[in-house]
Amino acid sequence: MVRVGDITHILYRAVDERNISSLGYATTTDGETLLERTTEPVFAPVDTWEEFGCEDPRITCLDGIFYVFYTAYSRRGPRIAAASTSDFRSYTRYGIVGPDHGDKDCALFPERIGGELAAAHRIEPNIELAFFDRVKKLDRFPQHPNSRSYIMRIGANVILKPEREWEKQKVGIGPPPIRTEAGWLIIYHGVDANTVYRAGAAMLDLENPCRVIARTTEPILEPEEDYEKVGVVPNVVFPEGAVVTDGQLWVYYGGADRVCCVAHVPIKLLLESLEG
């Protein structure tokens, strides 16, 4: 999701009878009621590198352009891909922009840091940070993902690792980071040993987002309702979009890989829980 004026623009994942994912488009003004919804996908697989689907889009507005980072699935597994749009109907595709390695859950920061673009992404089981000078190429990724230097670089770029039992299996970035006076607020998902997906929050330093200032010890969102517990993949809350309006943080998330949901909290309350 991304908020422009009074309208929240939504890209959501939908799966057809072949189990191929495409992206639909919808809008809302109040955060809950859909204003419009397309009858056909606005973004669908077009090449072999995304033959099994386009999933989990994260939208960031940067320099007046909406960048969409998403997971492209093929027989080689998940990869980071990107596109841009100005109207959510037509898109410029950049193809695979990350390493040729199992990678997903990528979100672009909404402003440059130290003159460079920054994106959080997930190579299991951790969240990593990448810097680059243009969207078309995340050029600090090495060219040979199976090399020893790549493995060493993975460790150097990690910003968030699993720490608690509720995120023991892996963690992954949710919506694009939100700038606050205290730092970059991130919402992320954690997966426990029983493959239950929950959401937590963390704060990153504004100038050096590799530094984690604070982190919730308990989940801020977890499967409680039937539509979060029962579905294609049970017991899942999977946050991907967030907007702030009138002091409220609205978090949009997938429920059990079947429905799209929204939850909200006063952002001041959430930030207070991260202080110290």
Take residue 197 and report the two structure tokens written for it. Answer: 């997906």
pLDDT at 228 over 60: yes
pLDDT at 144 over 60: no
**List of residues 6+ apart from 236 with CB closer than 8 A:** 196, 197, 223, 228, 254, 255, 256, 257
Residue with tokens 């607020």: 185
Calpha distance 106→225 (Å, rounded): 27
Calpha distance 30→70 (Å, rounded): 26
Q: Over the stretch 229-242, which tens digit does the pLDDT of each residue have?
A: 999 999 999 999 99
Complete domains list, the chain, with CATH:
2-273 (2.115.10.20)
Take residue 266 and report the two structure tokens written for it. Answer: 């006063």
Closest listed residue to residue 249, CA positions, set 265, 272, 225: 265
pLDDT band at 157; cut points 50, 70, 90: confident
Single pTM value for the model: 0.92
Dihedral sign (CA 221, 121, 255, 30): positive
CA 200 to the chain's CA centroid: 13
pLDDT above 70 covers what percent of the chain?
A: 92
